[in-house]
Chains A and B, each alone.
Chain A
Amino acid sequence: MSETSIDPDRVRSILTRYPQGDGSGLIHALQDIQAEFGYVACEAVARLCEHLNIPLSKAFSVATFYKAFSLEPKGETIIRVCTGTACHIRGSQILADELSSLLDVEPGGTTKDLKFTLETVNCVGACAMAPVVAFNGVYQGNVQPGALTRKIRGGK
C-alpha cells in the first residue's frame, strides 16, 4: 500500500487547535486528522496522544470503534451506498452487491489501484430519493440496477 507520507507540520497545525492534556478533544482531533490525510495515520495519532496526554491504546480503541475513521488511505473516489431502511426496501442491497462485484472489493474496502473506496452508510437522510448513492459526497437518487456499472465503466 502506498501510504501518503505524513507531514509533521500539518499534524502540528491540527494539534494547536486542541488544548494540551485535554483528552476530551480526542474524537474531534482524530476527525481533523482523518479529514486532512484521508485516514488516521499511526504517526499522526502517536503525536496526538503525546499532545493530549493519553495512552496510544485509548486512541486506537477510539479510532477503530467509530466508523468515521479509517486506518488506511482511501481511494480517489469514495462511493457510499446508502443502506438506510428506506433505501434498503427500495433495493440498495442490490446496488451494493453490484458495486462490490464490479470493483472486486467488500464494502469498506478500497480497490488495489486506489481509485475507489466502496462504503455503505446508514442513511444519508435523502430517503425521498431512495435508493441513494453518493460519489464523493454528490448524491445520486433513484438509482436503478445497472446504472452504476454503466457510470463507472464509462468513467474508467
Chain B
Amino acid sequence: MSEKVVNLEINGRGFQAREGMTILEVAKREGIPIPTLCHHDALEPVGACRLCMVEITHPNWRGWKGLVTACLYPVEEGLQVTTESQEIHQVRKTILDLLLARCPDAPYIQKVAAEHGVTATSFKKNEVQTVCILCGLCVRVCAVKGCNAIGTARRGIRREIAAPFGMPPPDCIGCTSCAHICPTDAIPWEDVNGVRKIWDQEFEMVRCVSCGRPIMPVTQLEFEAKRAGISPDYMTTCPACSQQKTLETIRTAFTIKRPASEDAVEAAS
C-alpha cells in the first residue's frame, strides 16, 4: 500500500488516510458505523452483499454523485463520503428484505433486518429457503487457509456453497474455520467422542498429551505443522495446557530458590 496520505470527508468531517485504504477501513478506524455482511478484516473484500453502500462525490466531479460499496472503494484526495441518507437506507432495507425472503428463518438476518426496520419480508419467500446468504466468507477463509476444499456451485439464484461433486471434500482438513466465520451458522459441524463431523466427513481428533481432551483433527494437525515447517509433535498440547505449561516454566525460572514441585520439573524438562 502506498505511503501517500490523502484527505477525505466522511459525513462532513475531515480525515486523513493512506491512499488505497478502503472507505470502510477508514470509517471503522474512526468509529463510523457502516453495516456489512460479507466483510471480514482478515479477508479480501468482494462486494457481494451490497449492504455497505455509501454515497460518494467529489468537488471536481461537477455535481456527480453515486453509490459505491465502502468495502471496496479506495479513498482518494478530496473524496466526500456520506454514510447515511434516505436513499442509502432504502437500498439497505431492500437488500435485507430480499435476504429475508431467501432466509426467513436465519436469526442473524432477522436481527440485522430488524435493526434497519424490516421485520418481515415484503417479497414472496423463495421456493428453496436456506440460512446461507452466499456472502462467501467460508470459501474465502478456506482459500486463505490454503485448503480450497469448498467453493461455489452453479450460478444465479441456484448458486450455493458446496463441496465438489457433492461428496466429502478431499481437501478438507476439518478445521471448521468455515463454520466459525459464517455469520448465519449455516455450516453444521459437531465434535463427538473425539471425532469431528463436518461436510459429511468424520475426522479423528488428536488428544492433548497433558489433559487428554480432543484438540483438532489429525489431518489439520499435519496440515498446520507442515505449513509452519515444524514437527507435529510440537502441537500436541491443547491451548489451555500449553498456556499452563508456559506459565509454569516462567514460574520455575523465576523461583529457583523454592523447592521445585514435581509438576514444575516435568513441565520444564
A and B touch in the complex (CB under 8 A): yes
B154-A64 in contact (CB<8A):
yes
Tally chain B residues at the interface, Cβ within 8 Å: 17
Q: With A and B bound together, what is the CA distance between A61 and B134 in angstroms? A: 14
Question: Min CB distance, B191 to chain A, in Å?
Answer: 24
Stretch at the interface among A51-59, A112-120, A135-143: A51-59
Query: Given A42-B165, A60-B165, does the pair A55, B149 have CB atoms closer than 8 Å?
Result: yes
Q: How far is the CB of B138 from chain A (nearest CB, A)?
A: 11
Chain B residues in 8 Å Cβ range of A42: 165, 167
Complex CA gap A134/B128 in Å reads: 33
B170 / chain A contacts, CB cutoff of 8 Å: 56
A interface majority secondary structure: helix
Mark interface residues in A33-71 (1 if CB within 8 Å of B CB, else 0).
Answer: 000000000100100000000011111110011000001
Most buried by A among B147, B151, B171: B151
Evaluate contact between B148 and A60: CB separation under 8 angstroms. no
Query: B70 in the interface, Cβ–Cβ < 8 Å?
Result: no
Q: Is the CB of B162 within 8 A of A55?
A: no
> Which A residues are within 8 Å of any B CB, using their own CB?
42, 45, 55-61, 64-65, 71
B residues whose Cβ falls under 8 Å from a Cβ of A: 147-155, 162-165, 167, 169-171
Question: What are 21 A-to-B residue pairs whose CB atoms are below 8 Å?
Answer: A42-B165, A45-B165, A55-B147, A55-B149, A56-B164, A56-B165, A56-B170, A57-B148, A57-B151, A58-B151, A59-B164, A60-B151, A60-B153, A60-B164, A61-B153, A64-B153, A64-B154, A65-B152, A65-B153, A65-B154, A71-B165
